[in-house]
Amino acid sequence: MKNRGRRQGSIQAGTESLNPWHNVRVLHACANALLGLTLAAALAVCATLLVHLPTFDLRGVSIEANTGSELRYVSTSHLRASALHRIEGNFFTVDLDSVRNGFEAVPWVRKATVRRVWPDRLLVTLEEHRPFALWGDSRLMNTHGELYAANLDEAEEDGPLPELAGPPGSELTVLSRFFELERWVAPLGRRPVAVSLSSRYAWSARRDDGTTLLLGREQGLPLEARVTRWASVYPRVRARLDGQPEIVDLRYPNGFAVRAVGVLAAVERGSAASATGTGQRKR
């Protein structure tokens, strides 16, 4: 009977140890967890109420140019007034990326950075597009070779811009070619005012004196060699034509063709030849 009692007592004690509600440490852990969750929820509610207090409403937006530049095309007063009406949230809840995207959607704004200034302001730093050229689809190109849309009259306040054109994605290639041509024709005291790359990747250009250069494609003789060869004899050719060349065709491998107003002459190194005679096939 005593052994049976011991067994029943041990079974009852084992059953109690398996029941978590009879385990003091488990009960203490659950109570601590519930207390922690309650405190966290209370703190979250307090924080939410705090950040939405009217004290932290945005009361101003400061706009400035990035270091080393000044704003020429953007009206800061207009942007500042319209920004306060469009910005949602307060000092803590405002979406800075959304504000930045809004400023960068403004014509003439290339890049914007936005940061908070305690306790109720935003500081916006802007970088403007600097117009360099007109692109073939009536957009503008900045000094980084990027295309953007803006008022063309404002872009040409300081004078006409070069005209560049090419297939989609060729913007940087065309810009680079413009700078190369600028260097190649500099000994003549002229500069390019238009450079174009066709859909078949043939190059052409126009100088500031109105002369059109047909350069062709990057095959055979490099373009630089064609242009510098022509530039080296250009003064003599012009004197012989007694007039301003209208078109200079540099697509020949051994020479070039020159057309003045009403005149067509093919010129090889040091001697004249007919355009359809000794000149080799154009490239």
What is the mean predicted confidence (pLDDT) over 19-27?
65
On the CB side of 259, how many CA atoms lie within 13 Å of its CA?
Answer: 10
Domain residue spans of the chain: 2-51, 56-128, 162-273
67: amino acid identity, one letter: T
Name the band, by pLDDT with cuts 50, 70 and 90, for residue 65.
Answer: very high
Count other Cβ atoms within 10 Å, centred on residue 15: 10
What is the mean predicted confidence (pLDDT) over 182-200?
95
Measure the CA angle with vertex 122, ends 116 and 124; round to 5°.
105
Using one digit for the tens of pLDDT, what is the confidence trace for 94-139? 999 999 999 999 999 999 999 999 988 999 999 999 999 999 989 9
Question: What is the per-residue pLDDT for 275?
Answer: 36
What is the mean predicted confidence (pLDDT) over 134-161?
94
Stronger pLDDT, 93 or 52, i.e. the higher one = 93
Which superfamily does CATH assign the domain made up of 56-128 to? membrane protein fhac (3.10.20.310)
Stronger pLDDT, 274 or 54, i.e. the higher one = 54
Which superfamily does CATH assign the domain made up of 162-273 to? Cell division protein FtsQ/DivIB (3.40.50.11690)
Stronger pLDDT, 123 or 18, i.e. the higher one = 123
Count other Cβ atoms within 10 Å, centred on residue 27: 12
